[in-house]
Amino acid sequence: MKKSKFIIKRVVAMAVAAAMLIAFPVKGSIAYAENDDKAEALAVSQEADDKTEDTDKENIEETDKDNIEAQEAQEEEQLSDYDRAIKEAADARHALQNDPTHVHHFRWIAKRNASESADGTINYMCEECDKVWYFRPYPAYYCFQGDIARQIEVAPQDFTVKVKTSLFINFNKQVMEALAKRPDVSLQVSFLRKEYVGDRLSFTIPAGEDTMSLLDENGYAGFIFLGNKYGMTLEVKHELDEEDAEAEETGSTEAVEVKEADSKESTETNESEENESAPSAKQI
């Protein structure tokens, strides 16, 4: 009997405790609920921030792309007809690199440095699409010759290749062979008379010339020789500074003195020989 009363009291106590818990939730439960609400709000806020950041990034990328395209379009407009033709031909070759049916044909092709006095590179590259497999340094002079020959080789139909140099003063056999293989291409050359200094002169080798016959016995064709043959044009007259003018004047004076001395010596020698060869009165 006592046991039954005890059980009934415990059941009633538990029921009262449950009712109180429902009516008056503990502080910890409220805290957990508040934390859940805060966490959910934070997650929503973070998601919104991420979306905003992604949108801003996309806008920046789109703006950068538009700026790049606008800059390229502006540069395209500023290109001369010559540079535009060169660029279009290069773009057509480079497009072959993305052609799955294209078969590469590699060979060694030289490319000169932007600074003529510095060594360039010789590239093992596809002659049709310009894809470079590997490269190594190469002397500046041979890079100049190989680069010009390559420009002639890939020039558009009936084109004039323009060359400007402040260092080199001749072409070798490689350039002349390239012109012989492209009889539709002419070559315009601008150079300095004395390499780094001197008047800037120019000449043009017309298309269809027998360029191989222009080479000397050593396989070279000098710019002065070519200019005299095809017509030389003075582009810029070299203005001598005081030191150069004085040096040139001194050199000219010395040359005149040497020439006069040689002339005097030659005259004296001739007179001496005449005297020796003339018969004396005694001999007569």
| Residue 144 within any structural domain of the chain | yes
So what's the pLDDT on residue 42?
73
Q: Which residues contact 53 (CB under 8 A, 6 or more apart)?
A: none
Beta strands in the chain (DSSP E): 106-111, 120-126, 132-138, 160-164, 170-172, 186-194, 197-205, 220-222, 233-236
pLDDT digits (tens, 9 = 90+) for 101-129: 999 999 999 999 989 999 999 999 999 99
Q: 174-213 pLDDT, tens per residue? A: 999 999 999 999 999 999 988 677 899 999 999 999 999 9
Assigned domain for 137 exists: yes
What pTM was computed for the model?
0.61
Flag whether 256 is in a domain.
Answer: no
Indicate the range of 23-32, 33-42, 215-224 predicted with least confidence: 23-32
Q: Is the pLDDT of residue 254 over 90?
A: no
pLDDT in tens, 34-49: 566 666 777 777 777 7
Amino acid at 253: T
The parent domain of residue 121 ranges over: 84-239
Mean per-residue pLDDT of the chain: 79
In a domain, 223, yes or no: yes
Predicted pLDDT of residue 209: 97
Does 248 score more than 80 pLDDT? no
Q: Is the pLDDT of residue 32 over 90?
A: no
* Number of domains the chain is built from: 1
First to last CA, the chain: 189
Asked whether residue 104 is assigned to any structural domain, the reply reads yes
| pLDDT score of 140 more than 60 | yes
Q: Is residue 7 part of a domain?
A: no
The verdict on residue 127 lying in a domain is: yes
Count of other CB atoms within 10 angstroms of residue 111:
16
Asked whether residue 202 is domain-assigned, the answer is yes
Across 254-273, average pLDDT = 51
Q: Confirm if 182 and 175 have CB atoms less than 8 A apart.
A: no
